[in-house]
Amino acid sequence: MVGILLTSRIKALRDSMSKNQLDGYLVSNETNILYLTDAVGTSALWIPSEGENLLYVYPVNYESVKASAKNCQVTLVKRSEDPYRKLAEQIQQAKLKRIGFDNLHAASYLTVRKSLKGTRVKPSGKLVQDLRAVKDPPELAAMNKAAEMTDEGVKTALNMMKPGIREYELAAEMEYCMRKLGSEGTAFDTIVASGARSAFPHGGCTDRKIREGEFIVIDVGAKFGNYRSDITRTYMIGKPTPKQKKMYEVVKEAQQRAFEKIKVGVRNSEVDAAARKVIEKAGFGQYFVHGLGHGVGLEVHEAPTLNAESRERLKAGNVVTDEPGIYIVGYGGVRIEDTVLVEKGGAQKMTMAPYDLTIR
């Protein structure tokens, strides 16, 4: 089944190559290589318009890659060799006129350009990006499993949350729970940001002790089958002040309005606008300091992007986050986030941990 899916992905990429008049495509991003070959620990993948795909690997990972890679010939690169120079020599011998690549480090790009004469080397990262943005059934199955583990991690946090527990202790409990359920690790560095630190969108976690009467922002995700999940909840121990309650209710409404807007064919910018309008109307517009969301998959931040500048339209199979927030520096912040699947009939939340602000 996996081999068939990978073959279809290679075919789709070659179709895009043909439309863009490319004779070949160089993949250097390890996540893109994983997506196309099911292999990790590689150096470069060469996909010609016709013929066999070549996967370049150093000795340290050669045997493991041979055991897992599909739809390609695994080629050993000696420690003293540069895989990009080796590949450029083959391209030169084939007299190819136009090749594309996803994203190369500057040194690797210069190596390829210097080695090729009469061949145009064109940045074409969007070709693989667009393929990865639409998830197939096995990808969605893995992401649903990751989402289930993530929900359980958040529930564990709710059970463990009490005045005096440190932020990093709460993060550790969530991660331990997800690991016991089969998570391959975290989707990203877990965030537990409390008190004034909750106003930092990427606040990480520290040794700060959680206190009663303050916002506690939890942002966490599990990883399963190399695919990720992403959720944020904002909780509080004790009774919120009127201002705290208003901030929370505004963000909650903004998230729901954006969710209702998520449909096939809708502009990504319109989804962002649906949430932003609610927050601006409530007088907190200046405190919503990031785009509404992003794609999730093999990486926690990938295509498509949901912000005011995005010109894309949502497609069935996109998996995106819906995560509006209000962040008042020196006071605190609120964010509510779910991982959402775009379907033909609308949208479906993949994460479903409890939303209530006050936990006890």
Question: Are 195 and 95 part of one and the same domain?
Answer: no
Share of the chain above pLDDT 70, in %: 99
Question: Are 150 and 21 part of one and the same domain?
Answer: no
Q: Poorest-confidence range of 1-5, 15-19, 46-50, 299-303?
A: 1-5
Confidence of residue 288 (pLDDT cuts 50, 70, 90): very high
Q: Is residue 30 part of a domain?
A: yes
Show the domain range for 101. Answer: 2-128
Pairing, β 231-235 against β 216-220: antiparallel
Alpha helices by DSSP H, the chain: 2-19, 30-37, 59-68, 83-94, 106-115, 126-133, 137-160, 167-180, 242-261, 268-281
For residue 28, what are the contacts with CB-CB under 8 A and spacing of at least 6?
43, 44, 45, 84, 101, 102, 103, 104, 105, 108
pLDDT at residue 249, rounded to an integer = 98
3-state class (DSSP) for residue 340? strand
3-state class (DSSP) for residue 46? strand
Last residue of a domain, one of 104, 128, 152: 128
Question: Are 73 and 175 part of one and the same domain?
Answer: no
Asked if 94 and 123 count as a contact pair (C-beta separation under 8 A), the reply is no
Give the model confidence (pLDDT) of 104-161 as tens digits. Answer: 899 888 888 888 888 899 999 999 999 999 999 999 999 999 999 999 999 999 999 9
Question: Are 249 and 146 part of one and the same domain?
Answer: yes
Give the model confidence (pLDDT) of 165-184 as tens digits. Answer: 999 999 999 999 999 999 99
Question: Are 168 and 303 part of one and the same domain?
Answer: yes
Tokens of 107: 């040194």
For residue 161, what are the contacts with CB-CB under 8 A and spacing of at least 6?
170, 210, 216, 235, 237, 359
Mean predicted confidence (pLDDT) in 68-79: 93
Question: Are 46 and 178 part of one and the same domain?
Answer: no
Last residue of a domain, one of 91, 109, 128: 128
For residue 165, what are the contacts with CB-CB under 8 A and spacing of at least 6?
209, 210
Nearest CA to 264 out of 341, 159, 335 is that of 341
3-state class (DSSP) for residue 255? helix
Q: Is residue 354 part of a domain?
A: no
**Sheet containing 319-322: order of strands:** 302-306, 293-295, 319-322, 338-343, 346-349
Element (H, E) at 333: strand 332-335
Question: Are 43 and 22 part of one and the same domain?
Answer: yes
**Sheet containing 98-101: order of strands:** 73-76, 54-57, 44-48, 24-27, 98-101, 120-123
Confidence of residue 3 (pLDDT cuts 50, 70, 90): low
Q: How far apart are CA 358 and CA 90, in angstroms?
A: 63
Q: How far apart are CA 149 and CA 112, in angstroms?
A: 43
- Inter-axis angle of helices 30-37 and 126-133, to 10 degrees? 60
Asked if 79 and 58 count as a contact pair (C-beta separation under 8 A), the reply is yes
> How much helix, strand and coil, in percent to the nearest 5, is found in the chain?
40, 25, 35
- In angstroms, what CA-CA distances link 206 with 174, 194, 241, 313, 334? 15, 9, 25, 39, 18
Q: Is residue 99 part of a domain?
A: yes
Query: What is the domain count for the chain?
Result: 2
Asked if 72 and 52 count as a contact pair (C-beta separation under 8 A), the reply is yes
DSSP lists the bridge partners of residue 57 as 76
Question: Are 198 and 303 part of one and the same domain?
Answer: yes
Asked if 189 and 163 count as a contact pair (C-beta separation under 8 A), the reply is no
Q: Is residue 360 part of a domain?
A: no
Last residue of a domain, one of 108, 128, 148: 128
Which pTM was predicted?
Answer: 0.94
Asked if 25 and 99 count as a contact pair (C-beta separation under 8 A), the reply is yes
Q: How far apart are CA 319 and CA 139, in angstroms?
A: 10
